[in-house]
A and B are shown apart, each in its own frame.
Chain A
Amino acid sequence: MIVRVSTESRDQRKRGGPGGSPPKGGPARRWARLPIPRDWVPALRYCAAVYLVVRVALFVLAAAAWGLGSEQPSSMPNGQPLPLTNGWHNIFTDWDKLDANWFLYIAEHGYSSQGGTGAFFPGYPMLVRAVGYLCLGHLLLAAYLVSNGALLAALVVLYRLTEREYDQATARRAVLYLAIFPTAVFLFGLYSESLFLLTAVAACYLARRGRWGWAGLAGVGAGLTRSMGVVLALALAVEAIHQTIEDRRGRAAGNADPAGRLGTAALRLGASLLPLAGTAGYLLFWQLRYHDWYRPISLQKIWWQRQLSLPWLTLWHGLSLAVRDGSLGDQAWPTFDFVLVGVGLAVGIWVALRARPIYAVYTWGGILLFLSEAWPARPLSSDPRFLVVIFPLAWALARLGRRPGWHEGVVAVSAASLAVVTWLFLTTMAVF
């Protein structure tokens, strides 16, 4: 990604930049040798540190879960149970379960008209396969490289975006809170969430900087990675309109060319629709290859028993089950789902009220999309995972974290929740 050096960053170079001037022979000098714009270095350094600490902690947790829990073998896409064996390798291989199995299966064997592979969008498995060639066919390693590389990049872009929208302190907190979000385990695991997060946050960042062509391309990546990419198209469209209105207000006093303004607006709106090309391209692949473009959508019902539902009905049903089963031993999964989704919704209200419309639309579009499909037996299942890619939620917490004592509270509660959710993901088959 090419990033134009802004006037601000040129000034920062003159005075040593936000990270300070690099001393000779120091670590900053080593960073300076990397082909990274200098104003990205503090973000990269901070995000890499946060990423590494959480990454190591999660590997340790996997070792603990293997040693102290009683894990159940995950079922592979071909119906066979994934064999479990004793050994320290479980630190890495333990994460290969549930959807991760599907992604690795698709990366290895491709799609099939039989089975449920069509429900998994191709962005992540495609990249796993591509990186797998560089890893001499070791797909698990490739899957880690893709998802974790995407996560690190997403954190860096989020840092820069937050810095632009708020300030540096909020950016640092937002990155930290996202990395220890209760369901952040899916960003570090072999799931497609981190790749989607990268494409989504990059699309928003590029759109905010006025790089609409690149934003649209990032959106195509999002559309190829998860079905939620369609929401990104809507969010970008809102931003396109917002920028056009801002332009009109800004140039009202001047003598700007109305035709030029209209052209720019059309360009933005055109770029904002690009993410749909990702989703459409995938459906086209199914049509051309298997003559069934609807298969990826129909599988949600056929294979995963997800049914269309009104968002408020999904929530109400989720709440009813949460209250009914909450106090029953080993049966409180609906409560677990509801509590996490409830917190996400509460934080989402802040985004709707206080954040720029593009983020409010992305947040609520994403939430409404996943609430529109529900598995009747457990209406909010998977929804806590879907929340983790809705990055503006971290801003609400990051703003709250400015108050004395709240920062520690958010860190402690979030890290503890992440630990428990990860534990449940590793030791049960009920967190997906």
Chain B
Amino acid sequence: MTASITASRDRDLAAWRSARLNDLREWLPGLRYCATVYLVVRIALVVLGAAAWGLTSEHDSVGPDGSVPRLTNGWHNAITGWDKQDSLWFLQIAAHGYRPGNDSAAFYPGYPMLIRLVGYLCLGHLLLAAYLVSNGALLAALVILYRLTEREYDLATARRAVLYLAIFPTAFFLFDTYSEALFLLFAVAALALARRGHWWWAGLAGVGATLTRSTGVVLVAALAVEAVQQTITDRRGAGTGSGRRRSAARAAVRLGASVLPLAGIGGYLLFWQLRYHDWYQPVRLENSVWGRVFWTPWHTLWRGLVMAWQYGPDAGAGWWTLDFVLVAAGLALAVWVAVRARPVYAVYCWGSIVLFLCTAWPDRPLMSDPRFLVVLFPLVWPLARLGRRAGWHEGIVAVSAASMAIVGWLFLSTTLVF
């Protein structure tokens, strides 16, 4: 009897191991492809960093404490040339934590917290830790995007989607020491897990997203829409009686999990309340320090267009036009997502777009918005679908890579791309 139970356990264990191995094998092609794409772009960006240092007179970036880090000659600029603007803030928070008087509250804690943790493993080298966190997160995000796209479309679309995201015009922010890569990982993981029905894990990933960037709140709406859609699909196939009751219970679980991401943002505000008795500080700073005001999205867009047209032909004044062109391209792609993609992705894209268009800096209304677009991963799907047509794939790769090189160059050599 005991022997037969042991044999049965062994069989179960072997079956479990075999299933896990099969799961891993399914992930391998995605991992191999994404790692290759990541490595090529990563090396190219390091070379771009060296070139921008050697071929331009770079401007100093002002640190969070108002100091100007001294720029020095050397090959290290291939890496450290990217450490500017928001990167400096994240590193400062990772090193010294939050302070009520230094405007650091506007930067959510997910990324700097992880930098600090990984920093211990890197013997206190925070820049290295920052690269490890953001680049590790990016690679993981690309692999999950690959699998998700394979599920929603097909393998060829998945390969193109990963490539297009890695060379998106503002994708260098994903490779840099910014929080975009980590947010992208949490966002794509949350939606992929929800699509597979792992709702609690999806909710947890959502918590990570809201701890990383304020736009994480949009995930709540997106996950809720997916929860409703899955419930409707269930009900259609549930029949009557107990099937419907089970369906209702599952719907409650899904909806409960979909509001979990609010815990991340709530936790961060609570931290500010408990530590500095000012839960509103992270929200207030957007206005008081960064000068962002609440505008309706169409007003922001209209002002962006007017200023783009007005200043476009003037030398050294094309920043409004740069913002507008990139945002307009993003909006055009988002229209495809709204019309052709599953509602969860449409809500995620448009919720985020509306959110960032609602907070504008009057002097440059679309400033930073091109960067915010890069985490809206469903935007690469219309391009990946378009890339099926002969010649379009090459066109998208060439235009996108060239745009990323130029926007990256501007980021490195000026202080006007945020």
With A67-B321, A327-B75, A330-B54 as given contacts, are A419 and B313 in contact (CB-CB < 8 Å)?
no
| In the complex, chain A residues 55-71 whose Cβ is within 8 Å of any chain B Cβ | 57, 61, 63-64, 66-71
Q: Is the CB of B54 within 8 A of A63?
A: no
Q: A329-B71, A423-B406 are in contact. Are A336 and B319 (CB under 8 A)?
A: no
Which residues from A are CB-within-8-Å of B77?
Answer: 327, 329
Tell me the nearest residue of chain B to A330, going by C-beta. Answer: B57
In the complex with contacts A325-B54, A336-B54, A413-B401, A67-B314 CB distance below 8 A: yes
Tell me whether A411 is interfacial, beta carbon within 8 Å: yes
Query: Which one, B57, B315, B406, contacts A71 given CB within 8 A?
Result: B315
Shortest C-beta distance, B74 to chain A (Å), equals: 5
B267 an interface residue at 8 Å Cβ cutoff?
Answer: no
- Nearest CB of B to A348, in Å: 21
Do B54 and A415 touch across chains, with their CB atoms under 8 A apart?
Answer: no
Q: Which of B202-210, B214-222, B392-400 interfaces with chain A? A: B392-400
Q: Establish whether residues A412 and B397, one from each chain, have CB atoms under 8 Å apart when the complex forms.
A: yes
Q: List residues of chain A with CB within 8 A of the CB of B53.
A: 327, 329, 332
Answer yes or no: B44 CB below 8 A from chain A CBs.
yes
Across the interface, name the chain A residue whose C-beta is closest to B40: A409
In B35-51, which residues have CB < 8 Å from any A CB? 36, 40, 44, 48, 50-51
CB-CB contacts below 8 Å: A30-86 with B: 49, 53-54, 57, 61, 63-64, 66-71, 84, 86
Q: Are A57 and B402 in contact (CB under 8 A)?
A: yes
Question: A143 on the interface (CB 8 Å rule)?
Answer: no
| Interface pair A57/B399, CB less than 8 Å apart | yes
**Does A90 touch B at the CB level, under 8 Å?**
yes
Q: List the A side residues contacting B401 at CB < 8 Å.
A: 411-413, 415-416, 419
Pair B51/A327 contact, Cβ less than 8 Å: no
A416-B73 contact, Cβ under 8 Å, with A67-B314, A329-B54, A405-B36: no
Chain B nearest Cβ from A266, distance in angstroms: 46
Q: Which residue of B lies closest to A420 (CB)?
A: B405
**Closest chain A residue, CB of each to CB of B163:** A408
- Report the separation of the CA atoms of residues A395 and B77 in the bound assembly, to the nearest whole angstrom: 35
Interface membership of chain B positions 152-181, coded 1 if the CB is closer than 8 angstroms to chain A and 0 otherwise: 000000000001000100000000000000
Chain A residue numbers with a CB within 8 Å of B167 are 412
C-alpha spacing A415/B315, complex, angstroms: 25
In the complex, chain B residues whose CB is within 8 Å of the CB of A69: 316
Assess the A416–B54 pair: CB atoms within 8 A. Answer: no
Report yes or no: A415 in contact with B399, Cβ–Cβ below 8 A.
yes
Contact (Cβ within 8 A) B406 A419: yes
Q: Answer yes or no: A285 CB below 8 A from chain B CBs.
A: no
Q: State the Cβ distance, A403 to closest chain B Cβ, in Å.
A: 12
The answer to whether B318 and A411 have CB atoms under 8 Å apart is: no
The binding surface of chain A is classed by DSSP as helix
Q: Is the CB of A86 within 8 A of B315?
A: yes
Contact assessment for B73 and A329 in the assembled complex, using a CB-CB cutoff below 8 Å: yes
Counting chain A CB atoms within 10 Å of each CB, the highest count among B311, B315, B318 belongs to: B315
From 385 to 422 in chain A, residues with beta carbon under 8 angstroms from any chain B beta carbon are: 405, 407-409, 411-420
Q: Is A287 located at the chain interface by the 8 A CB criterion?
A: no
* Chain B proximity of A25: nearest CB distance (Å): 22
The minimal Cβ–Cβ distance linking A45 to chain B, given in whole angstroms, is 11
Interface: B322 (CB within 8 A) = yes
A58 to B, closest residue via Cβ: B402
Measured between beta carbons, the chain B residues less than 8 angstroms from A409 are: 40
CA distance A415 to B163 in the complex (A): 15
- The closest CB in chain B to the CB of A56 belongs to B399
Contact between chains at B55 and A49 (CB < 8 Å): no
Q: Please, which residues of chain A bring their CB within 8 A of the CB of B391?
A: 49
The residue among B167, B322, B404, B406 with the most chain A CB atoms within 10 A of its own CB is: B406
Q: Digit string of B232-259 for contact with A (CB within 8 Å is 1, else 0)?
A: 0000000000000000000000000000
Distance of B247 from chain A, by nearest CB (Å): 45
Cβ B318 vs Cβ A64 within 8 A: yes
Contact A331 B316, beta carbon cutoff 8 Å: no
- Asked if residues A53 and B54 are in contact (CB atoms below 8 Å), the reply is no
Chain A residues positioned under 8 Å from B71 (CB to CB): 329
Are the C-beta atoms of A327 and B397 separated by less than 8 Å? no
- Asked if A88 is at the interface (CB within 8 A of a chain B CB), the reply is yes
Question: How far, in angstroms, from A96 to B77 measured CA to CA in the complex?
Answer: 33
**CB < 8 Å: which of A57, A70, A408, A411 contacts B315?**
A70
Q: Which residue of A lies closest to B391 (CB)?
A: A49
CB distance from B244 to the nearest CB of A (A): 50
- Please state if B316 and A68 are interface contacts (CB–CB under 8 Å): yes
Name the A residues within 8 Å of B321 (CB-CB). Answer: 63-64, 67
Nearest B residue to A334, CB-CB: B54
Is A363 interfacial (CB 8 A cutoff)?
no
- Judged by a CB distance under 8 angstroms, whether B14 is at the interface is no
Chain B nearest CB: distance from A219 CB in Å? 33
Q: Is B410 an interface residue (CB 8 A)?
A: yes
**A140 at interface by CB-CB < 8 Å:** no
The residue on A at minimum CB distance from B78 is A327
Asked whether B58 is an interface residue with its Cβ less than 8 Å from the other chain, the reply is yes
- Say yes or no: B57 contacts A329, CB within 8 Å: yes
How far is B406's CA from A325's CA once the two chains are assembled, in angstroms?
23
A180 and B398 contact, CB distance less than 8 A: yes
Neighbouring B residues of A408 by C-beta, 8 Å: 163, 393, 397
Chain A residue with the shortest CB-CB distance to B166:
A412
| Nearest-neighbor residue (CB-CB) of A89 within chain B | B313
B56 at the interface (CB under 8 A from A): yes
B382 at the interface (CB under 8 A from A): no
Give chain A nearest CB distance to B315 CB in angstroms.
6
In angstroms, Cα B44 to Cα A210, docked, is 44
Q: Which of B59-115 contact A (CB under 8 A)?
A: 71, 73-75, 77
Q: List residues of A (325-360) whose CB comes within 8 Å of B's CBs.
A: 325-333, 335-336
- Chain B residue with the shortest CB-CB distance to A91: B313
The answer to whether B322 touches A419 (Cβ under 8 A) is no
Contacts of B402 in A (CB 8 A): 57, 61, 415-416, 418-419
Cβ-based interface call for B312 (8 A): yes
Pairwise interchain contact B58-A329, C-beta atoms closer than 8 A: yes
CA distance A70 to B316 in the complex (A): 6
Q: Given the complex, which residues of A lie within 8 Å of B73, measured CB to CB?
A: 327-329
Report Cα–Cα, A420/B56, bound state, in Å. 12
Among A332, A408, A417, find the residue whose CB has the most chain B CB atoms closer than 10 A.
A408
Provide the residues of chain B in CB contact with A405, threshold 8 Å.
Answer: 36
Cα distance A66–B410 in the bound complex, in angstroms: 13
Q: How far is the CB of A89 from chain B (nearest CB, A)?
A: 8
Shortest B357–chain A CB gap in Å is 23
The reply on A265 being an interface residue by CB < 8 A is no
Across the interface, which residues of B come within 8 angstroms of A423, CB to CB? 406, 409
Set of chain B residues within 8 Å of A411, measured between Cβ atoms: 394, 397-398, 401
Minimum CB distance partner of B43 in chain A: A413
From A68, A176, A327, A329, contact of B318 by CB (8 A): A68
Seen from chain A, the residues whose Cβ lies within 8 Å of a Cβ on chain B are 49, 53-54, 57, 61, 63-64, 66-71, 84, 86-88, 90, 176, 180, 325-333, 335-336, 405, 407-409, 411-420, 423-424, 428, 430
* Interchain residue pairs with CB less than 8 A apart (30): A49-B391, A57-B398, A61-B406, A63-B321, A67-B313, A67-B318, A70-B316, A87-B313, A88-B313, A90-B313, A90-B315, A326-B54, A327-B73, A327-B75, A328-B73, A329-B57, A330-B54, A330-B57, A336-B55, A411-B397, A411-B401, A412-B44, A414-B398, A416-B44, A416-B48, A416-B401, A416-B405, A417-B405, A419-B402, A430-B55
Closest 5 CB pairs of A and B: A67-B318, A332-B54, A419-B402, A415-B398, A416-B405
Given A57-B399, A415-B401, 8 more A-B residue pairs with CB atoms under 8 Å apart are A61-B402, A67-B322, A86-B315, A329-B77, A412-B398, A416-B44, A419-B402, A420-B48
